[in-house]
Structure 1
C-alpha cells in the first residue's frame, strides 16, 4: 500500500465497511487523518448506499419485560437476508426507554424521552451526544395545564446546503393556548442548534395544524408532517431556509377523516412516500419532486399478510427498499416479523422473525462514520 498514491489509497478505503475502517485508523497517522475527514466519511457513506441494502436497527421503545420470555435490549442490528441479529451495547443508562425518530440520517439516529436529555447516536461506531429537552418536552411533562395534550415526536434531519444536523419539534399552538405564538401561525416550531447547544423558535411557523402523535419523516433536506383537518396535506419544512410549504395535492386526500391508523409517511429509497390503508389493501404513494406528482409504487394485499400478522387496526409500517425494488415492511406495533413484497411477482416472504418476544421497533439505516462535533 505504501507504493500506491494517496488518492488511490483513499478510493480503496472508501469502499470498505465501517468496522474495517475503525481498525485501520491505527495503521498510520495519515490513514487516521483520512478516515476522520468529513469529506472522506461522506464519500464512504455514498458508496455504502450505492453498493448494498440498508441494515435494520431495532430500538427498544416499550418495556414488556414482565412478559414471559421477553428479551429487553437497548439496540440490535440486522443485515437483511441474514438470520442473525447482533446486539449493540449502548453507553447510556440501562432500562431507560427512548422513543426513536423514524428517519435515520447519514447513519445517525435521534432518541428522545420525557425526563432525560435527548440523544443523537451513531449505532455503528457507538458514538453519541446528548442534547437538552425542548420547551415543549419540558412543558408537556411538567405542567398540569398541558398534561392532556397529544405528544409531538421529534424530527431529525440535515441541512444539505451547509451539512448541519437539526432536531426539530413542531406542535399545534392551540395545545398551549397560544403560548409563545405571537404571529398568525397555528403551530410552534423549535429547532435545536448543536453549535450553541440550545433550542430556538422559528417564526413564522406553519399556518396549518398537524396530526398529533405522528412521526416526522426526513427526506432530501426537509422534514415532513401530515396536516390536520377535513383533508390531509403533506407539510414540508426546509431545514436550510427553515420555511414551511404544503406539497402538491395527493390521491389520498379524498378521505373526510384521517388518523395515524390509516395514513403513514415514510422514506423509501430517499423518496417521500405516504402509505394509505383501505382494506383489503394498503397502497404506498411516492412523491415525484421533479413533476410534483404522486405515483402508486406498491400495493399490499392485507388478506395475504393477515395470515402472518393477523388483522390489525393500524397501517403496516413500510421500512425501506431492499434488493433494488422489494418493499421491506413490518407489523405496526411490535415490528416483528419483517416481510418483503416483490412488486413484479406480487410474492411475499418473511425476511426475519424473532424467536422470542421483543419490545423493539425497527428502522432502516446505512452504516457510517459520521458524528456531530
Structure 2
C-alpha cells in the first residue's frame, strides 16, 4: 500500500473529509481496524465518536444488513485447583460459515453472565456479588468496568453472613437513550420481596453521561417484575415481564431510557402463563418478541413496530422435533436471531451449547454450531467501533 508519507501525499489529491464521508464510513469494522496503520489521520479519524456513529449508522441502514454475529460467554470458570485448558471466557462466531474466534480477555479466571441484548456492538457482562460489571466491544476488544450498584453490595454482605435471599436473582439491563446518545446500565428489582426496603421495586441507573455514577430512579416501577426473566433492550427502551397477578396474568413492562418512565405494553396473546420458565423475551430484527412454550409448539410473537399495539405470530417451533435435538429442557428455548431474513436461530440455555436453525419454509431443523463448553450465555451483536468515554 506504500509508506505513510506516500499515502499522505495521495491524500493531498483527495480532501480527507471526502475520504471519510465517501470511503471510510463504507468500510466494515474489520477493514477499518487494519487500515488504522495507513496514516495517523486515518487512525485519528477512526477514534472519534462522530465517525464511529456515522460508520454504525451507515452499516445499520443498509437495505440488506448482514446476519449478526453471536457471542458466547462461558457461565462457569474452572477452579484454580482443577484448571481446564479448554476454557474460554468468550467466543464469537459467524453462524452461517461456522467460523468462530476465541476472544482473549483479562478476566479469564472470573465468571460473568451476559445481558440479554447488545447495543451498538457493545455487550454488558455482570456478576451478582463480588465483581463490577463490564461493558465490552468484542470486535475491538475495548472494555470498561462499572462499579457495583447498591443491590450488589447488599447482596454480597448478605451472602457473607449466609443470609442470602430465597428468591431468584434479578438480572440487569443495558441500553441507550436514543435522544441524548447516553448509554445506561439499569438494575430493576423487587426490593421488598428481597428484604431490602419497604418499596415494592427499586431501580438503580448507571448513567454514562455527565455523572458516570449510580443513582436511584424515583419513582420506580409501579409493577413487580419476574426475577427469573432478564430484561431486553429494543429501540431506546428496556423491557421486563411483570410478576404474575392473582389472576395468573403477566404483561410486558417498558422503561423509556430517555424519559426514564415506566408503562405497560399492550396486552398480548401470552397473557395467561402457568409457568414463568415457559416464556422468554428477546429482540429479533429490532423488534420486541415474546416466545411462549405450549406443547407441542413454542410460538414466537412479534410486537408490530408500526403501532406497538399488535402482536403477530412470527415463528412456531415444533417441540416434538426439537426434543430429539435437546433431550431435556425445563425452560423455553431461547431465540437469538433471524438469519437470511426468514430463518430462526435458537438454543437451549440449559445444556451444552448447541445453536439450531429453523427454516419455516422447509420445516427443517439443523445444528448451526456446537460447543464443548458446559454452559454459555448467548447474545447477538453487529461489529462496531463504538466505545464509551
Alignment TM-score > 0.5, same fold: yes
- How far, CA to CA, are the matches of 1:47 and 1:188 in structure 2? 38
Q: Is the Cα contact below 8 Å between 2:352 and 2:373 reproduced in 1?
A: no
Of 50, 55, 61 in structure 1, the residue corresponding to residue 69 of structure 2 is: 55
Which range moved further: 29-38 or 219-228? 29-38
Structure 1, unaligned stretches of length 5 or more? none
Structure 2 residue 240 is the aligned partner of structure 1 residue 232: no
Structure 2 residue 263 is the aligned partner of structure 1 residue 249: no
Q: Is the Cα contact below 8 Å between 1:60 and 1:361 reproduced in 2?
A: yes
Map of 2:203 onto structure 1: 189
Q: What aligned pairs does 1:1-373 form with structure 2 within 5 A after superposition?
A: 2=11, 3-10=13-20, 11-49=22-60, 50=62, 51-63=65-77, 71-91=86-106, 93-113=107-127, 114-143=129-158, 144=161, 147-177=165-195, 179=197, 181=199, 186-194=200-208, 195-229=210-244, 230-255=248-273, 257-259=274-276, 261-291=277-307, 292-334=309-351, 336-354=353-371, 356-373=372-389
Aligned-residue offset at 1:67: 9.8
Aligned-residue offset at 1:305: 1.3
SS at match of 1:205: coil
Which protein, 1 or 2, shows the higher relative CO under an 8 Å CA cutoff with sep ≥ 6? 1
Aligned-residue offset at 1:16: 2.0
Q: Is the Cα contact below 8 Å between 1:48 and 1:367 reproduced in 2?
A: no
- How far, CA to CA, are the matches of 1:178 and 1:130 in structure 2? 25
Aligned-residue offset at 1:57: 0.6
Which range moved further: 62-71 or 335-344? 62-71
RMSD: 2.2
1:313-362 superposed Cα distances (whole Å, 9 cap, x missing partner):
211010011111211101122462111112222222221123x3443222
Structure 2, unaligned stretches of length 5 or more? 1-9
For normalisation by structure 1, the TM-score amounts to 0.92
Distance verdict in 2 for CA 1:302–1:273, change over 3 Å: same
Distance verdict in 2 for CA 1:178–1:57, change over 3 Å: closer
Distance verdict in 2 for CA 1:357–1:171, change over 3 Å: closer
Which range moved further: 144-153 or 303-312? 144-153
- How far, CA to CA, are the matches of 2:383 and 2:69 in structure 1? 7
- How far, CA to CA, are the matches of 2:301 and 2:258 in structure 1? 26
1:156-207 superposed Cα distances (whole Å, 9 cap, x missing partner):
00000011100000001222446274xxxx2110000223232101111111
- How far, CA to CA, are the matches of 1:243 and 1:335 in structure 2? 39
Q: Is the Cα contact below 8 Å between 1:141 and 1:147 reproduced in 2?
A: no
For normalisation by structure 2, the TM-score amounts to 0.88
SS at match of 1:42: helix
Q: Is the Cα contact below 8 Å between 2:353 and 2:375 reproduced in 1?
A: no
Q: Is the Cα contact below 8 Å between 1:341 and 1:347 reproduced in 2?
A: yes
Aligned-residue offset at 1:38: 2.1
- How far, CA to CA, are the matches of 1:134 and 1:312 in structure 2? 33
SS at match of 1:209: coil
**Number of equivalences:** 365
